[in-house]
Amino acid sequence: MGTENPGRPGFPARPASLPFAAAPQTATPFSSTGPVAGSEPPSFRPTAMPPPPQASSLFSSSGPPVRPGVPGFRPAPPGTFNDPSVPPPQPPSANAPPAAGTFLRFPPPPFSSSGQVPPQQRAPFVGPPPIQQSGSQPPSFPSPPQPQTPFVQMGSPPQSISPAPMGSNVPPPTPTHQPPFPGYARMQQPPPAHSSFPPSQGNYGPPPPPVSSPFLPQPGGYAPSPAVAAPLGMQPPGSGPPIGGIQGLAEDFNSLTVQTRPGTMDPLFDSSELPRPLDGDVEPKNLDAMYPMNCHPRYLRLTTSAVPSSQSLASRWHLPLGAVVCPLAEPPEGEELSVVSFAPASVVRCRRCRTYVNPYMTFTEAGRKFRCNVCTLLNDVPSEYYAQLDATGKRVDLDQRPELTKGTVEFVAPAEYMVRPPMPPVYFFLIDVSISAVRSGMIQIVAETIKSCLDELPGFPRTQIGFATFDSTIHFYNMKSSLTQPQMLVVSDLDDVFVPLPDDLLVNLSESRSVVETFLDSLPSMFQDNANVESAFGPALKAVFMVMSQLGGKLLIFQNTLPSLGVGRLKLRGDDSRVYGTDKEHVLRLPEDPFYKQMAAEFSKFQISTNVYAFSDKYTDIASLGTLAKYTAGQVYYYPAFQSAIHGEKLRHELRRDLTRETAWEAVMRIRCAKGVRFTTYHGNFMLRSTDLLALPAVDCDKAFAMQLSLEETLLTTQTMYFQVALLYTASCGERRIRVHTMAVPVVTDLGEMYRLADTGAIVSLFSRLAIEKTLSQKLEDARTAVQLKIVKALKEYRNLYAVQHRLANRMIYPESLKFLMLYGLALCRSMALRGGFGDAPLDERCAAGHTMMVLPIKRLLKLLYPSLIRLDEYLLKVDLKSIERRLALTMENLDSRGLYIYDDGFRFILWFGKGVSPEIARNLLGADFAAELSKATLSEHDNEMSRGLMRVLEKFRNADRAYYQLCYLVRQGEQPREGFLLLTNLVEDQMGGNNGYSDWMLQISRQVQQ
Amino acid sequence: MGGKLFFWLVICFPSSIALLATTFYQVLILSDLEADYINPFDAASRINYFILPEYIGQGALCVLCLFTGHWFMFLLSLPVTCYHIMRYVKREHLIDVTEVFRGLNAERKFRLAKLVMYLILLIVVIFWILAAGSSIFYHNSKFEELDIRLNTLGY
């Protein structure tokens, strides 16, 4: 490893993190004092540590320094040196049980700060001033030597020795204390600690400071830890005073105190103290310093960035253990992915486990071999890929090899990755032209939008396009380039569907451009007077399948009428409220006719991806239609009661986005990880092609997939676990590519550490997918209970970690990293897909919401679950220009009747006009009819500054996320029932009907946790 | 006596062999699927091809045993028949391509259990055949009416 990316921050980081590994480095800096160090090695260890972290970071680039120090210090050196990523695992065993756990925990960054902090505290404790300096200064100053020297001298006396023992001693206490400590670091209980510890200080004091960062966990308890915590940003906001007592332990968890309602005995939480995710989704940054070459969290997020080392530990983690992958997430403007071509050689991969070359692979034997980071097999470097190693052991061409420095790269796949020539982008449109479709104006908008997107369809000039329409018959259009007018071919035999013209139904867009345009121009008028009410959707689907099966591609279905003819005909269901709450309830959410599943499987097999646009104002059985999208990596768009005047803009934007976004064709995705861990279940829209291969006929940046992993071996012996997501696809340009995301995470032995590195976003994403899947086989109620139960179990386990040392009565504790989990859990239970029962959400909307939530990337899902509520009037009146950036908690109490608020869940805006909102605002924004009922009013720009200001704000919000178009709904306070179903049910913190409010929910959870 | 031998040798023996074979084949395909030697589409269609014949055959055998008064055989095959009926009524009898991996382990376990049942059935049938055959060839006709247990004791 060292060879490979010595320079990389990652490298240094690793070693540093280990308590011991670090030591060597310190040593190096002191090289001048060298002799001393050498002689003292054993006792030294601990002491050495202090400086290490920093030293490491400072020298990060310098591979060599490490070496010298190492020998003196520990057995580990060789290991470390070669392989930064996996460094010291083995060696530590002897000395430091702690090491393993420890090193994982603390990324280098902490050090710098930590180093500094500790010193001060330390000072008081440690009798001998010199020591402190050594400990404290190294960190702050680049030049470790100075501190060191004094230190060394000190070393000889008892103190120096003490550290050593410490190392060994520490472990014992660790087990019990561990949990508390890690977190505590920040705690700075300095004062108490000192006093309480005086006696022991002699031993502990000196060594800890330096060590602390690496060790936190174990020794932690004492003084050292303090520094670290702070950097990690774990600060417990709400944490009460440390209850630890003698030890003066600080808390590393958050807590809420249960109060008693005045006058009664009812306990309650102070609702203003409850945590709320008002900043939206925060991507985890914990590992950035430790593994800087990891891919960005927008591509891959783990529910906890710490893999448990044993099955027993994993079983105590009651939250889902898994990952959420968004392989094609859009990088921010200006950031380009590096595309790597190995031609003429093939892609460099590990021979045994097939892992793609990545930054964590180490090159050895003068660059002729590389060691796979996942399975540790030593592979030969292909001659075309050979490069010498420089003195530090890294490849000389490292800076020209993005695949060795970046967590995310794209490889150009050679011919052996193709089963057929790369397909061109294919778009096929299947449009319902029955009377309700005509009346809603959907056809008009679809035709216009497609026409306007023709220039932007990806893959010019290879793009192919085709159209079919259906009512009680199926109409195909011959769009051969030699024709001037499209030719309509009608198939009316629904029992034995055939394709009238095998070629020419799917044509090359650039060749037939004029015919296609003519067709789109005439399409709306063609069916203007159609009075057909039937829908032969099933047969049409079969016919289209015949047309598309040659190439595959993307099928967009515009569906307005419940399928009523031929195969796949569906009947009205779901209007029977008695079914809810019985064992038959879930059947409503399953496809009614196996035809849809079969078709979906066929589509997937032939690389066809299906997007369903449904528009009906009546029941259209999204549960059945959505199945088509579910297994073909598609998406469901549902516009209930579509009217082109109202919803047209939304359809236009979303269809446009669908047609023009970057799309990966005929893709398969696999996620690999090291031995001992296996991905077992997958959740999202795709079909499994084999046990771990996701077939994605077409996939784009708006789709995320979740998976859960399980431990296969009882004990993991490695220190680091690697995950690699590989998406093999055909780019729109016709090139076959492999997009690879690599991530390294530590393996930990401590449950507290898993909690510390937990990622609420990923957990909520997996939760919601599991819950939605559960609604397909069980009652809604059961799915909601399951969510709550899992949260309770997790918190209970967490509480058990701390209950021993702390008096926790009447307090609810939870990890800082999961402080929003409870609220998101509540929001999930109250989301459209899971809420209430029969009357709370129309069946179609519920199913559509479920389908949507199954594909949403984390960020968007969190926004949907906990939307932003922002006060606008102050901004519009220029009273307070900052107010627009302030998100409010979702509760009625925050709605001032003199205000104007916007509620934005990423899918729609709701503008709420308070009763007392100034008439000036209403008039300016709504025009003359501002007093009229708002359900009819639409928002349009008026000729005044305030209206323009509002439009700018809306535009700004829309630009923040372009995947969906947010239509603006207006509602006035007290306007029932509109206000109720648009806004009030969505204020998740309020109690509503049978639903819990936030503080009740917390109370419920805390009660169950304490049972 | 000849009728008995006919029943066991010509009806029960081939049918239980056939049941055993189809189940074994299905288990094999499922294992292949897990090892990625076959794609789920082919696997599902191959397995599904045999499912209805198997259900019908097994059900017919069970009913035949009931009507011919072979209580032991009937009781032996009854659990499997019930299981089949349950699956069929729930419409879960066919392998669902889209979710095949989700239920792979359960499906295989059920089939292995069925395999064991069929194997027991086959052993019993072979035993009856031997019993029936031996009663014809080695015993006088006076033993014919005796209970089969006597026959077995005779061995």
A482 in B contact zone (CB under 8 Å): no
For residue B102, the chain A residue with the least C-alpha distance is A681
pLDDT in tens, B130-141: 888 888 776 655
Classified as helix, coil or strand, A261 is coil
B97 and A689 within 8 Å at the Cβ level: the answer is no
pLDDT in tens, A895-936: 888 889 999 999 999 999 888 888 888 888 887 777 677 776
Q: Of B34, B36, B97, which has the smallest distance from its Cβ to A601's Cβ?
A: B97
For residue A628, the chain B residue with the least C-alpha distance is B98
Answer yes or no: is B140 within a domain: no
B101 in A contact zone (CB under 8 Å): yes
How big is the A-B interface in CB pairs under 8 Å?
A: 31
pLDDT in tens, A478-530: 999 898 889 999 999 999 888 888 788 999 999 999 999 999 999 999 999 88
Q: Spell out the domains of chain A, with CATH numbers in brackets.
A: 10-237+245-251 (no CATH), 338-417 (2.30.30.380), 426-567 (3.40.50.410), 867-987 (3.40.20.10)
Predicted confidence at residue A213, as pLDDT, reads 36
B97 and A688 within 8 Å at the Cβ level: the answer is no
| Helices and strands (H and E) in chain B: how many | 6, 0
Residues A181 and A232: beta-carbon distance below 8 Å = no
Answer yes or no: is B135 within a domain: no
B72 in A contact zone (CB under 8 Å): no
Answer yes or no: is B78 within a domain: yes
Closest CA to A354 of A580, A686, A670: A670
B40 in A contact zone (CB under 8 Å): yes
Residues in chain A: 1011
Residues A325 and A704: beta-carbon distance below 8 Å = yes
What is the residue range of B112's domain? Answer: 2-125
A601 and B41 within 8 Å at the Cβ level: the answer is yes
B102 and A598 within 8 Å at the Cβ level: the answer is no
A598 and B97 within 8 Å at the Cβ level: the answer is yes
Answer yes or no: is B46 within a domain: yes
Q: CA–CA distance from A734 to each of A341, A428, A578, A603, A1002 (Å)?
A: 15, 18, 53, 21, 53
Return the amino acid letter for A868: S
Mark A668-689 as b/e (b = at least 16 C-beta within 10 Å): bbbbbbbebbebebbbbbbbbb
pLDDT in tens, A443-468: 999 999 999 999 999 998 899 999 99
Name every residue whose Cβ is closer than 8 Å to that of residue A920 and which is 6 or more positions away in sequence: none
- Two structure tokens written together for A795: 């918190």
Q: Which residues of A touch B103 (CB under 8 A)?
A: none
Residues of chain A with pLDDT under 70: 1-253, 258-268, 574, 804-809, 931, 936
Q: Which residues of B touch A604 (CB under 8 A)?
A: 98
The beta-strand segments (E) located in A231-293 are 253-257, 259-260, 267-268
B34 in A contact zone (CB under 8 Å): yes
Q: Which residues of B touch A600 (CB under 8 A)?
A: 98
Residues A237 and A272: beta-carbon distance below 8 Å = no
Residue numbers of A between 185 and 244 with CB closer than 8 Å to B: none
**Distance (Å, whole) CA A701 – CA A311:** 35
Q: Which residues of A touch B100 (CB under 8 A)?
A: 688
Task: Return averaged pLDDT per consecutive 10 residues of chain B, 155 residues in all.
Answer: 79 92 95 91 93 94 90 91 94 89 91 94 90 75 50 46
Helix residue ranges per DSSP H, A721-759: 751-756
Q: Which residues of B touch A594 (CB under 8 A)?
A: 91
For residue A693, the chain B residue with the least C-alpha distance is B36
Predicted confidence at residue A457, as pLDDT, reads 93
Answer yes or no: is B56 within a domain: yes
**Distance (Å, whole) CA A127 – CA A206:** 9
Our CA-based measurement puts residue B87 at a distance from the nearest CA of chain A, in whole angstroms, of 16
Hey, how many other C-beta atoms are within 10 angstroms of the C-beta on A142? Answer: 13
B101 and A601 within 8 Å at the Cβ level: the answer is no
Question: What is the total count of domains within chain B?
Answer: 1
Predicted confidence at residue A923, as pLDDT, reads 84
Name every residue whose Cβ is closer than 8 Å to that of residue A584 and which is 6 or more positions away in sequence: none
A688 and B40 within 8 Å at the Cβ level: the answer is yes
Mark B105-130 as b/e (b = at least 16 C-beta within 10 Å): eebbebbeebbebbeebbebbbebbe
Mutation test of the interface with chain A: which of B45, B89, B97, B108, choosing the one with the most A Cβ atoms within 10 A? B97
A583 in B contact zone (CB under 8 Å): no
Predicted confidence at residue A260, as pLDDT, reads 59
Sign, CA torsion A64/A70/A72/A76: negative
- Two structure tokens written together for A476: 């195909």
Predicted confidence at residue A939, as pLDDT, reads 79
User: For chain B, what is the largest distance between any 2 Cα atoms, rounded to a whole number of angstroms?
Assistant: 61
A691 and B101 within 8 Å at the Cβ level: the answer is yes
Predicted confidence at residue A894, as pLDDT, reads 87
Query: A706 φ, ψ to 5°?
Result: -120, 150
A600 in B contact zone (CB under 8 Å): yes
State whether ipTM is beyond 0.90. no
